[in-house]
Structure formats: structure tokens, C-alpha cells
Structure 1
């Protein structure tokens, strides 16, 4: 039987394992099912953290709660701040659904709210904004890290987990291992990025992971990357809303499309399972199309 390690939200999961009878067994069921289903470690962390918070809130297992208790907790979660975290609410609901299925409890007995899908176009940086962003950090390590995310369209977890051995300077490619959906892929390594990486490796001498955290040989944390991105955005004077680390990946795909790469190739580079996921970039790219107009304006032209 495994136990949550100290890197997996110890303030909630470990406390729940210690204080709430039976939670440790429940956590192991969650870990087993999520692992067997091929879902990511981040899914386990998100679901388990929220189940631990519910258990600590009531000092009971989530599976022992009645409908009023569950709905009161979810309502409290929505009202906790002036701007509730939709992601937090979603993970709590999805975690409960999975937990009920694992324990054989009919989730229809407790009417969990449905999560409406919101289709919003993500924020994208212009090429000039990307240039300003990549110049903003003071440290070489930070400039190289942001440049690598943009140059290869990486997810945050992918750049954090990159090992030095994943770089192939001879074949000019980067091996992305066991990413979202437990899939491997190769992405091209740009000539400019190769120069930057070689300078960084020579100057900083990272160990094992390409970007080390505070401890020798450890990987850089997501929080560290998020802080770096927000600091660079501020220094670069970028005022757009919704800019985050993932914005560099969106900008990468959009700029490739604008530069003429076909949508199917972009899908493979991004590691998307379905083309529909990639098609969103068609709405974001400026492909030299004419400005929108009404057909009435051309109805009475000579050609018509």
C-alpha cells in the first residue's frame, strides 16, 4: 500500500491520511484507478487534494457524506472567494464522481452538478510581445527556459520534466516523454535554441534535469515556472489579460499557422489526440484574410 509523498500536497492529503479514519485506503484506491486509466499525475494530485479537503472539513470520508453535506461543501467552495476557482470546483466534482464509482456508490443518489463547457479563445502574444518577454528575465537560465517553451510549444509539466538526455543536438530534436495521455513525441530543436541551450549548459551545468529546482538534481517546480512567467510579463510591459505559461504554447501554434505550417503537422507537434483540439488556432491566426464585410456591400458591384 502506497502513501502520498511529501511533494503531493502534504498539508491536505497527509493530514487526511493521519486524521480521518479510512482515508489512506481511499487514497490508494484513487491512485490505483487513476494510474490504470492512464491519466496523469496531476489528475491524481488534483482529485486527491480536493477529496482530502472534504474529508478534513467534515472529519469524515467523502463517501460517508449525505447529499446535503456534499452540496453544502460545493456551495461553500463556490462562495469562498469573490471570484471562485472554476478549476477547483470542477476537480472537486470530478473527484467525487470517480470516488463514488470506485466504492460502488450510485452517484445518482447524490445529484452532483454538471460542469458546463466554456469555449473561450485563449490569449495569444504577438511576435513582438514574445521578443520582449524573452528578453525580460535577468538570468540566462530563465531566458532559455521561456524561449524553450515557446520554441517547441511545450506544456509546463513537459519543460519541468525535461532531462538533459532528452536533447538530441545531432538530430536537432527534443524527446518529450510520457506527456499528457502518457504519450511520447519528438519536436524540432531550432538552431537558435540549440545555441542558447549550449550556452546555458556550459554556464549553469544542470544535473540530470535540464532545469533544476532549489535542491541539487531536483526538477524545477511548476510554481517556479509560473512565477518566472508572471515576472517576465510584468517586466516586458505586456498588459493583455489571461497571460500564463501556457500562452507561450498557444502563441507557438498560432505563429506556426501564420507562417504557413499546415494544421495536421501542428497537431502532431503539440501532441494533440484529436484534430478538433488544434482547430481552435484557425480562429486565432491572422492568415491574411480580408476584413469581415457584409454581402450587401458587394451586392451592387459591377461583378454582381
Structure 2
């Protein structure tokens, strides 16, 4: 075991990182060093960027890229104590996903597929009011304005 690896493991133990995190960090730092055929102490920001690009080109998952970057950030900021600003090692952003919205026809078919109006009330109320599942399951009769059939604003729905 190299002195750098031993020192990194000791730093992770001192910070009480989970055993799985320690294994992953050591694995990614080791793969980084093998990729360049050199000790991580001799590598810099350009090599980190090239490593990140290689992971992206290999179509690794976002979580793998984040974990690899976190391992290198730990190595260079805690163990090696380079004078870099942490933000110089960029982290992958989480892609924004738009919610799936049913078309009016799809919503109609969904509600028609429910055999009884008794079982259709909660899903229809949730859909019409834009409620979360937790909010819909806590609906009370008092939350629904009976003369108009409208659901009270979400702020008045009690969610525990």
C-alpha cells in the first residue's frame, strides 16, 4: 500500500466516512492514477478535467461522475492539501426533468378505467387540485367546498 493511499484512508477514518464511501473513494482515485500511469500527487487540474471527460465519454452515470469527483476533491483538499479552490474541480449538475402531464383524453380514460365512483373520488380530487399523494390521502370532507365542488387551497389542507 502506497503512503498516499494509507494517508487518504487514515484521513477518511478520522472523518468517520462510511466503509463503502472509503472503498469507493480509494477505487476511483486508484483508477484515476492508473488512467494516467502516475501518482495522483503529480497530477493536476487538467488531468482531473480529462478524467471527468473520459468518464462522460464512457457514458458513466451521473452518480458515478459525482462520486469520482468527490473522491478527487477529498484527495486534493484533505489528504494532499493542494491550494486549489474547491470550485475549480467542477461537479456534475443534476438534469432537470419536467413532470409528465396527462392529456385531457388520457386523464378521461384513466378515470373511466376506475370501476366505481367511490374509488375515483380521491384520484380525481388530487388531479384536479394538483395535490401530492400525501396531501390527497389526508383530504377531509371539510377540505372540499361542497356547494361548488372545489377543493380548498393546498395551504388549508392539513399535512402531518
- TM range, smaller chain: 0.5 to 0.7
Structure 2 CA distance, aligned partners of 1:301 and 1:87?
48
Structure 1 residue 301 displacement after superposition: 3.0
Note if 1:85 corresponds to 2:35: no
Q: After the TM superposition, which residues 68-217 of structure 1 pair with which residues of structure 2 at under 5 Å, given as runs?
A: 68-81=46-59, 84-101=60-77, 102-108=79-85, 111-116=88-93
Q: Is the 8 A contact 1:51 1:96 kept in 2?
A: yes
Specify the SS of the correspondent of 2:88.
coil
Contact 1:67 1:110 in 2 (8 A): no
- Structure 2: how far apart are the matches of 1:284 and 1:29? 48
Q: Is 2:5 the counterpart of 1:27?
A: yes
Larger Rg: 2
Shift of 1:117: 5.7
SS at 2:137's partner residue?
Answer: coil
Structure 2 counterpart of 1:39: 17
Q: Which runs of 4+ in 1 moved over 4 A?
A: 117-120, 283-287, 297-300
User: What is the Cα deviation at residue 79 of structure 1?
Assistant: 1.5
Which residue of 137, 140, 153 maps to 1:288? 137
Q: C-alpha displacement at 1:62, in angstroms? A: 2.1
Question: Could you list the per-position Cα deviations for residues 183-209 of structure 1 after superposition, in whole angstroms to 9, with x for gaps in the alignment?
Answer: xxxxxxxxxxxxxxxxxxxxxxxxxxx
Q: Cα offset for 1:59?
A: 0.7
For 1:299 and 1:98, the matched residues in 2 are separated by 59
Aligned partners of 2:35 and 2:22: how far apart in 1? Answer: 20
Between Structure 1 and Structure 2, which shows a larger proportion of helix residues?
Answer: 2
**Given the superposition, is the C-alpha separation of residues 25 and 78 from structure 1 closer, same or farther in structure 2, using an over 3 Å criterion?**
same
5+ residue gaps in structure 1?
4-23, 121-282
Structure-2 separation of matches of 1:70 and 1:112: 7
Paired position in structure 1 for 2:30: 52
Task: Could you tell me which runs of 5 or more consecutive residues in structure 2 were left unpaired when the two chains were aligned.
Answer: 98-131, 150-160
Report the Cα offset of residue 114 of structure 1.
2.6
TM-score (normalizing by structure 1):
0.32
Q: Is the 8 A contact 2:73 2:86 kept in 1?
A: no
Which whole-Å CA distance do the structure 2 matches of 1:286 and 1:66 have between them? 50
Q: CA RMSD in A?
A: 3.6
Instruction: Count the aligned residue pairs.
Output: 113
The Cα shift of 1:119 comes to 9.4
